[in-house]
Amino acid sequence: MRANLLDLDVDGLTAWFAQQGEKPFRARQVLRWMHRFGSDDFEQMTDVAKSLRAKLAASAEIRGLVPLRDNLAGDGTRKWLLGVGHEAGGNNAVETVFIPEANRGTLCISSQVGCALECAFCSTGKQGFNRNLTTAEIIGQLWHANRMLGAVKQPGVGDSGERVISNVVLMGMGEPLANYDNVVAALKLMLDDNAYGLSRRRVTVSTAGMVPAIDRLRQDCPVALAVSLHAPTDALRDELVPLNRKYPLAELMAACRRYLELAPRDFITFEYVLLAGINDSDADARALLALTRSLPCKFNLIPFNPFPGSDFRRPAAERVRRFQEILMAADVVATVRKTRGDDIDAACGQLAGRVLDKSRRRTSAVGVPERKIVSLTQEVLS
């Protein structure tokens, strides 16, 4: 079976070439052709010896993901449905979203086929979980998007000009830190100057709060960190984000403080999906301030994006504005995420892809009954 070279970061590719009896610089050459130039054809690699090109064609391949669907929203957001693995033409597929803005282009990529964390308000979690993506399948989303957007570099041409994809966020399907080794290998490719050469500040990993993996990432590959918070108390967060039962808020806040010691940014981003009548009250905002008082942070407020089967509702614009004002009055940066791509189900929380569920935990409806959550909130905050 031929090796898929997209599966290897620079260290892995160097080791692979050593096994073939080749010099380390060959890894850097091929890395540039694959990632900077977007090539999947060894014959195009003109600075690689012809004999080695033939050898590579016999023993290796550069195999990207299988494009199944390409949707373009009215606001310019673009979403790809990409088949993964041997079942690419069958059951499993992930979604990748490109969000163009005036001063940057952000690619939101997936790390798992489905998700096992079962966050109550997330469309991906409703589909259940199948498996982790490989390194090739994670970095392959960036590789595919670069090619589709005409963002690959040309051999012999410098890096002048703005990047089409300037930022990458691991905020798509799945919990990135539950697929730690493959995600870190992909991160290293994003940062490598022979591959994509992105700044650590422009690559963000989002996590629901896997505390031991946050500490590992701090040591192995510190990039920008976003934490999916969504509740100011353990009682409420236990219901919305079940992972909190294993790593409660005190442990999570401590891990965030440790992460800042080596982080490329001097703050943690907290993502907070606003759910009408659940976590969007003035009291919730004040509890958030108390929780994060000693932690440099900013809040990314996300009005809930509805999807079929969900019991939750989006708050009124005035309620969102009031929540934001309370945070900002305490000199905390709080932005409201603009909904992008919701006409193609590409907005935050709407990614679902296509998942052959192996978890057997899929439920017929997503969401915790509102009366239960409201009573918990009132009990804790009273």
Q: Which residues are catalytic?
A: 95, 348
Buried b (16+ CB within 10 A) or exposed e, 197-228: ebebebbbbbbbbbbebbeebbeebbbbbbbb
Listed in order, strand segments (DSSP E) in 53-92 are 60-61, 66-72, 78-83
Query: For residue 299, which amino acid is it?
Result: F
Closest CA to 211 of 256, 158, 173, 171: 256
Q: HSE-up of 345 (CA within 13 Å, CB side)? A: 16
Q: Count the neighbouring beta carbons within 10 Å of the beta carbon of residue 305.
A: 22
φ/ψ of residue 248, rounded to 5: -70, 175
Count H helices and E strands in the chain, helices first: 12, 14
d(CA 35, CA 142): 9
The token pair that represents 3 in the structure block:
């090796």
DSSP state of 270: E
Environment class of residue 80 by beta-carbon count within 10 Å: exposed (0-12), middle (13-18) or buried (19+)?
buried
> Which residues lie closer than 8 Å to 321 by C-beta, 6 or more apart?
none
Q: 203-207 and 167-170: which strand pairing?
A: parallel
Residue 160 CA: distances (Å) to CA of 152, 156, 157, 266, 356:
13, 12, 8, 28, 43
d(CA 95, CA 83): 9
